[in-house]
Amino acid sequence: MIALVSSCGIYSFSGTSIKPDVKTCEVEYFVNKAMQVNPSLANDLTEALIDKYNKLTTLDMVTDGGDLTVYGEILTYDLRPMAVTADEVASQTRLTIGIKLYYTNRLHPEEDFEKNFSAYQDFDSNQSFDAVESTLVYDIIEILVEDIFNATVANW
C-alpha cells in the first residue's frame, strides 16, 4: 500500500499533494501596503514561506519563472483593544496581520487562486507593545505560513 501511494507522485508523507510534473516554486517578495508598517515584516514573511517550501517539499526554489508562484501583499497590521475591564480600560490588545495571497500554478492554471489570510495574537495591555511585538509577529507569521502552505500545496 505504501509503495502504491508514494509511487503515484501526487501524495507525500509531508502532507503535500503536488502533481509530479511540478518541479519549481517561486516565492516573490511580499509588498507591505499596511497603513502601519513593521519594517521587517515583509522580509520575515517571505523568508519563512521559502523555508517552509524548502523543508516540506522537493520543489526547487527559483527566483523567476517557477511552475508555482506565490506572492502577496500585506494589507493590515492592526492593534485593537479586545477585553475591556469594568474601568473601561483594555486588559487585552490584539495584533492582527492580514494579507492577500496570489497563487499561480503555471502547469495547472485551474489551481490558481487569490485569497485573503489573517492571523492574530493577543497580549496583556500592561505590557509594552514594543517589548512583545517581535514575539507576536513571529507567532503570527508561523500561523500565516502554515495556512498559506496548506492552501497552496497541501490542498486543505
| Cα 24 to Cα 93: distance, rounded to the nearest angstrom | 40
- Residue ranges of domains in the chain, CATH in brackets: 23-152 (3.30.160.150)
Give tens-digit pLDDT for 11-51.
444 467 789 999 999 999 999 999 999 999 999 999 999 99
The pLDDT value recorded for residue 11 is: 41
Between strands 92-105 and 68-81, the pairing is antiparallel
| Cα 127 to Cα 129: distance, rounded to the nearest angstrom | 6
* Phi then psi dihedrals of residue 76, to 5 deg: -135, 140
Q: How many CB atoms lie within 10 A of CB 68?
A: 25
